[in-house]
Amino acid sequence: MKRKGSVSSKDVAREAGVSQATVSYILNDVKGVKIRPETRQAVLDAIKKLNYHPNQIARGMKLKRAMSIGIVTDRNVTNFYFMKVLEGIRDGLQERNYSVNLLYNKYDSIEDAEFIKYYNSNRIDGIIFAFASVSDEEMEYMDSMSIPYVIVSTHPSGRGIGEVCTDHLNHIQNVVSYFKSKGVKNIAYAGPVPRSAKDRRLDVFKDALVSHGYDVKDELIVLGTFDNNEVCKAITSMLENSDPKPDAVLAASPRFGMLTVKSCHMLNIKIPHDIRIVAVGSSKFFDLIHPPLSSIELPLYDMGFKAAEMILKNIDEGAVEELSVLASEFIIRESS
């Protein structure tokens, strides 16, 4: 399959009666180089006429840039987050003419991780880990190879630099406070088993309880697995058997939010009449269920956009930017 027109800057130069260099100068707005207006116009006309498009591969070759960023995520990434973040990343990169190269985080030995290979073979100039689990080993390795990367995640990875996350934990206080203002007596928690000490959701929740004069009752805390059925069982069991019964639940993630609602439906518990529910996280789906689920919405698009800015800055200047914490928002829908 041959490429159609394939007109090069050489063709443009010939057509305009100038040299290739001049074309390049004009195209890249090289500073310190002044081009006579009529020359510029001639070149511009030639470009139009020939429908010329600079070959980015060749450009990348010369500049030793792939003009592309690897976005790595886990397989089966929770759909709740990913697309919106990707949109932000895309737009952020687009402004500087970088493109999105989607990769997955799966490998046996770190040396032959896909994203490392891609970097080594010059296919990407840097990496954004988008809600992927990044191990200390990985970070160490990347640092040692001085591969530019940025991590976007709900909570800080501990790296401290080149990292985008949100302040959603702050809102847990607000949620508890909101529950209290509604006269809630017993607040339950449903969330995943913390996979690392960095995940502060449960701790913050407990603190919030205490600071609002609630007791911390372990039987009102459900820590679930990846298995939806098991989680449901755990939640329904808590809902039925605990004493006292909760009249509010904080769900630590979108999935747990959905499953809490599901559990209530199964037990015929009325939301928000019998029990109020708020989920941490964003999802379009919160509007597709009854009642619409209140939540702490993450600034997903902005997180992606910011991550894009960061990685480009990192690549350009070797600049290591601080941790960037973006504001989330407590949105009250009908479930609370």
Partner DNA sequence: CTGAAAGCGCTAACAC
Partner DNA sequence: GTGTTAGCGCTTTCAG
Q: Are 74 and 105 in contact (CB under 8 A)?
A: yes
Question: Six-digit token pair at 130?
Answer: 């988008």
Distance of CA 312 to the CA centre of its chain: 16
User: In the beta sheet, which residues pair with residue 166?
Assistant: 326
For residue 41, state whether it binds a copy of itself (rule: CB under 8 A). no
Q: Closest Cα to residue 81, out of 254, 221, 316, 334?
A: 254
Cα–Cα distance between 18 and 171 in angstroms, integer?
A: 62
For residue 20, state whether it binds a copy of itself (rule: CB under 8 A). no
Binding site partner of 288, from a copy of itself, DNA, none, Cβ cut-off 5-8 A by kind: a copy of itself
The rounded radius of gyration (Å) of the Cα atoms in the chain is 26
Residue with Cβ nearer a copy of itself (5 or 17): 5
**Where do we find the tokens 């630590």?**
252
Binding site partner of 318, from a copy of itself, DNA, none, Cβ cut-off 5-8 A by kind: a copy of itself
Helix, strand and coil in the chain, % to nearest 5: 45, 15, 40
Segment near a copy of itself (CB under 8 A), from 26-34, 131-139, 140-148, 201-209?
Answer: 140-148
Binding site partner of 10, from a copy of itself, DNA, none, Cβ cut-off 5-8 A by kind: DNA
For residue 64, state whether it binds DNA (rule: CB under 7 A). yes
User: Crossing angle for the helix pair 37-50 and 9-16, nearest 10 degrees?
Assistant: 120
**x/- binding map, residues 16-55, to DNA, per CB under 7 A?**
-xxxxxxxxx-xx-x--xxxx--xx-------------xx
Could you count the other beta carbons within 10 Å of the beta carbon of residue 110?
14
Provide DSSP, 191-238: EEPPSSTT--HHHHHHHHHHHTT----GGGEEEE-S-HHHHHHHHHHH
For residue 62, state whether it binds DNA (rule: CB under 7 A). yes
Q: Are 246 and 187 in contact (CB under 8 A)?
A: yes
Q: Can you tell me which of 14, 20, 40, 104 binds a copy of itself, judged by CB under 8 A?
A: 104
For residue 119, state whether it binds DNA (rule: CB under 7 A). no
Segment near a copy of itself (CB under 8 A), from 152-160, 168-176, 194-202, 312-320?
Answer: 312-320
Residue with Cβ nearer a copy of itself (241 or 268): 268
For residue 107, state whether it binds a copy of itself (rule: CB under 8 A). no
For residue 118, state whether it binds a copy of itself (rule: CB under 8 A). yes
Cα–Cα distance between 49 and 69 in angstroms, integer?
A: 33
Contacts with a copy of itself by CB under 8 A lie at 1, 3-6, 51, 53-58, 60-61, 64, 66-68, 75-77, 79-80, 82-83, 86-87, 90, 99-104, 117-118, 120-123, 145-148, 228, 255, 258-259, 261-263, 265-266, 284-285, 287-290, 314-318
Contacts with DNA by CB under 7 A lie at 6, 8-10, 17-25, 27-28, 30, 33-36, 39-40, 54-55, 58-59, 61-64
